Amino acid sequence: MRYQQTLAGRKIAVVVLSRQQWQQLKPNLTLIVNAVNAAIAGSFIEVEIPFGYK
pTM for the model stands at 0.78
Residues 24-50 have a mean pLDDT of 95
Contact status, residue 13 vs residue 43, Cβ threshold 8 Å: yes
Residues 21-27 have a mean pLDDT of 94
> For residue 14, what is the enclosing H or E element?
strand 14-17
Q: Which tens digit of pLDDT belongs to each residue from 42-52? A: 889 999 999 86
Contact status, residue 17 vs residue 25, Cβ threshold 8 Å: yes
Residue 22 is part of which domain span? 1-49
Per the structure, how many domains does the chain have? 1
| CA–CA dist 23, 45 (Å, integer) | 21
- What pLDDT is attached to residue 3? 59
